[in-house]
Structure 1
Amino acid sequence: MSTGESWGPAEPAGPTGAAVRKRALRRAAVALGGGAAAAVYLWHTDPHQPGQLLIPCPFKWATGLLCPLCGGTRMAYDLMHGEVVTAFHDNAVLLTLGGPVVAYAVGRRLVAGLRGRVYRPRLSGRGNAVVLGIAAVWMLARNLVG
């Protein structure tokens, strides 16, 4: 075997900056289109009224308890209709903490993708503990207080 030969196929090179940008734009367009379609449907479907065709919370269905995300659909509906106080009542923690965190993560991923880089958010063990702790305290508080 000569020194120029290799034993297996060449390792694939990572995606180029142009490929990452194209993929980021494609994913953003798909997410925007799906989000817009869901928003149009939700705009005309009042989740505060019974009998609406919406996906019920599986945790609430199985246990009868509110999960940390319960009220998120009602909250989104209320925000789209300019009812911020009602949205806060539907799920205060999701509105005040979840919204900004998701906006930051999505924005950071989109900006990195447009720059030809891949952004992979990572939570440390402490970060996971904080998120789970907030969710647990919120779930307990809203089920005990009512």
Structure 2
Amino acid sequence: MSPLTHTATAIRKRTVRVAALGLGAGALGAVYLWHTNPHRPGQVLLPCPLKWATGILCPLCGGTRMAYDLLHGDVVAAFHDNIVLLTLGVPAAAYAVARWLSAGLRGQYFRPRLSARASAVVLGIGAVWTIARNLVG
């Protein structure tokens, strides 16, 4: 067996192992969230550290409520909770995970990299969204 084949096989095995762990952790989180309504106060959920410390909503605030609403099929409420995360963040994360999984199953590494311009766009969207949602209410 050549070292390249061994490396590709190791990458495939690691990809499957990490994907299975991620899927299992996600399923456990989804089951917990299914039974925990984050729209009601007093639920046992991790608070946003920025909102807790400053009272300012970060670009990800509302993500837990959005996930809860999507689990229960309420897309309109999910849009209300965090429209930018739902329309930009979820597809971007799904794309990155699909690329990682595809490369890993082929025995290749996938290292996502953003150019300086793309990083500026992401940070700009986050900053504008943070300012807009805190000014509007």
TM-score by length of structure 1 reads 0.90
By how many angstroms is 1:83 displaced?
0.3
Corresponding pairs, count: 135
Distance in 1 between residues matched to 2:35 and 2:28, nearest whole Å:
11
By how many angstroms is 1:86 displaced?
0.2
CA change 1:53–1:112 in 2 (3 A) is same
Identity of aligned residues (%): 71
The match for 1:107 is 98
Which aligned runs of 4 or more in structure 1 are off by greater than 4 angstroms? 12-15
Equivalent residues in 2 for 1:12-27 (5 A)? 16-27=7-18
Kindly indicate which of the two structures has a greater share of residues assigned to helix.
Answer: 2
Mark the runs of 5 or more structure 1 residues left unpaired by the alignment: 1-11
1:129 paired with 2:120, answer yes
Mark the runs of 5 or more structure 2 residues left unpaired by the alignment: none
**Aligned partner (choices 64, 67, 80) of residue 55 of structure 2:** 64
Name the amino acid aligned to 1:21.
R
Equivalent residues in 2 for 1:1-146 (5 A)? 16-146=7-137
Greater C-alpha Rg: 1
- RMSD over aligned Cα atoms: 1.4
